[in-house]
């Protein structure tokens, strides 16, 4: 009888909830039915040589190139709770913490206590949560830092001095110029470059790295892995001083800025970017 009772409860829960099975074999029971969304937007003027910093707890950060001189930030905020009314109240409790000066702007959201994702049983049965997806337009030449813990970072035609970090999410980019320091844990990195004007450093733990370069690019390549392999396409003009399964070091065309790629528990692939 006890086994039948447990089964009956499981059937009732499954009927009333959204049961999700991930591609990694995990199961979560979603008790949250209410949703609320809104948009928070700001425009900033940052002096030449200044810095923008965005820290995100849960959600993606998309960065594109601004056509003007101002920084545009839009935060699409979403809350989930037991009802639409509870989700709206949860969303109203989100504080967008701004630190603004002519030389530096820093943005970090503070979510209401108890809305963060938990562990153990709370990860099995999902409760109230808040996610924030940022869309940023960045003028050329600025310094910028973008960090998120549960989401990916995407860069599109961005020119500046960039620091990008993600945990439990990947980093992608195309037509990126300037300097770049990118790191992720439990995610992959995919980047495309037409030119390199400054050094690029990519570090990954538990994920792969894929880089696509214009065939005419000039760079100094240092690619290494601990548990994986390094592969450089034969079509890329590379004069390698070291070339084995886990390490490739050499000069691409005439040499130039350093392209440093390192991953633990993943592979590295460097190829020619399709025109």
Judgement on whether residues 238 and 259 belong to the same structural domain of the protein: yes
Does some domain include residue 165?
no
Does some domain include residue 73?
yes
Residue 177 vs residue 119, higher pLDDT: 177
Judgement on whether residues 190 and 212 belong to the same structural domain of the protein: yes
- pLDDT score of 274 more than 80: no
Across 33-42, average pLDDT: 95
Judgement on whether residues 177 and 129 belong to the same structural domain of the protein: no
- pLDDT score of 100 more than 60: yes
Judgement on whether residues 146 and 94 belong to the same structural domain of the protein: yes
- pLDDT score of 121 more than 70: no
Judgement on whether residues 49 and 61 belong to the same structural domain of the protein: yes
Judgement on whether residues 36 and 25 belong to the same structural domain of the protein: no
Quote the domain boundaries for residue 217.
170-275
What pLDDT does residue 32 have? 59
Judgement on whether residues 119 and 176 belong to the same structural domain of the protein: no
- Of the given ranges (19-33, 40-54, 198-212, 251-265), which has the lowest mean pLDDT? 19-33
Across 162-180, average pLDDT: 95
Mean pLDDT score of the chain: 86
Judgement on whether residues 72 and 180 belong to the same structural domain of the protein: no
**CA 220 → CA 56, 117, 242, 260, distances in Å?**
33, 42, 12, 8
- Out of 150, 184, 206, a domain closes at 150
Does some domain include residue 180?
yes
Does some domain include residue 267?
yes
What pLDDT does residue 33 have? 83
- pLDDT score of 124 more than 60: no
pLDDT tens digit sequence for 125-157: 455 689 999 999 999 989 999 999 999 999 999
Does some domain include residue 157?
no
What pLDDT does residue 115 have? 53
What pLDDT does residue 128 have? 61
Query: Of 101, 74, 264, 130, which Cα lies nearest the Cα of 188?
Result: 264
What pLDDT does residue 112 have? 77
Calculate what percentage of the chain has a pLDDT beyond 70. Answer: 82
Does some domain include residue 155?
no
- pLDDT score of 9 more than 90: no
Rounded to a whole number of angstroms, the distance between the first and last alpha carbons of the chain is 68
Judgement on whether residues 57 and 76 belong to the same structural domain of the protein: yes
Judgement on whether residues 42 and 130 belong to the same structural domain of the protein: yes
Does some domain include residue 160?
no
Judgement on whether residues 183 and 225 belong to the same structural domain of the protein: yes
Does some domain include residue 221?
yes
- Of the given ranges (6-10, 27-31, 213-217), which has the lowest mean pLDDT? 6-10
- pLDDT score of 113 more than 90: no
Measured CA angle at 202 (ends 214, 242), to 5 deg: 70
For the chain, the three-class secondary structure string (H helix, E strand, C coil) is: CHHHHHHHHHHHHHHHCEEEECCCCCEEEECCCEEEEEEEEEEECCCCCCEEEEEECCCCEEEEECCCCCEEEEEEEEEEECCHHHHHHHHHCCEEEEEECCCEEEEEEECCCCCCCCCCHHHHEECCEEEEEEEEEECCCEEEEEEECCCCEEEECCEEEEEEEEECCCEEEECCEEEEEEEEECCCEEEEECCCCCCEEEEEECCCEEEEECCCCCEEEEEEECCCCEEECCCCCEEEEEECCCEEEEEECCCCCEEEEEEECCCEEEEECCC
- Of the given ranges (63-77, 101-115, 129-143), which has the lowest mean pLDDT? 101-115
- pLDDT score of 47 more than 90: yes
Domains: count for the chain = 3
- Out of 104, 119, 150, a domain closes at 150
Judgement on whether residues 50 and 66 belong to the same structural domain of the protein: yes
């Amino acid at each position: 009888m006890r086994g039948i009772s447990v089964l009956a409860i499981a059937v009732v829960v499954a009927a009333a909830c959204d049961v999700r099975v991930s591609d990694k074999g995990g199961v979560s029971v979603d008790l949250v039915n209410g949703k609320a969304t809104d948009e928070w937007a700001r425009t900033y003027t940052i002096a030449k040589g200044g810095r923008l910093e965005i820290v995100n707890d849960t959600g993606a950060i998309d960065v594109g190139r601004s056509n003007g001189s101002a920084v545009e930030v839009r935060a699409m905020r979403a809350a989930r709770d037991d009802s639409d009314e509870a989700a709206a109240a949860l969303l109203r409790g989100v504080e967008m913490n701004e630190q603004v000066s002519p030389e530096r702007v820093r943005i970090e959201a503070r979510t209401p206590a108890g809305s963060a994702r938990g562990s153990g049983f709370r990860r099995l049965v999902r409760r109230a949560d808040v996610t924030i997806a940022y869309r940023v337009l960045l003028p050329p030449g600025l310094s910028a830092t973008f960090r998120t813990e549960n989401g990916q970072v995407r860069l599109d035609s961005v020119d500046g001095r960039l620091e990008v970090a993600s945990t439990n999410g990947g980093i992608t980019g195309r037509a990126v110029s300037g300097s770049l320091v990118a790191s992720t844990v439990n995610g992959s990195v995919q980047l495309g470059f037409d030119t390199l004007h400054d050094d690029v450093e990519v570090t990954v733990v538990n994920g792969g790295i894929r880089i696509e370069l214009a065939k005419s690019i000039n760079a100094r390549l240092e690619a290494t892995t601990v548990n994986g392999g390094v592969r450089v396409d034969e079509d890329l003009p590379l004069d390698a001083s070291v070339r084995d399964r886990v390490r490739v070091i050499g000069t691409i065309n005439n040499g130039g800025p350093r392209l440093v790629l390192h991953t633990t528990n993943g592979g590295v692939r460097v190829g020619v970017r399709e025109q």
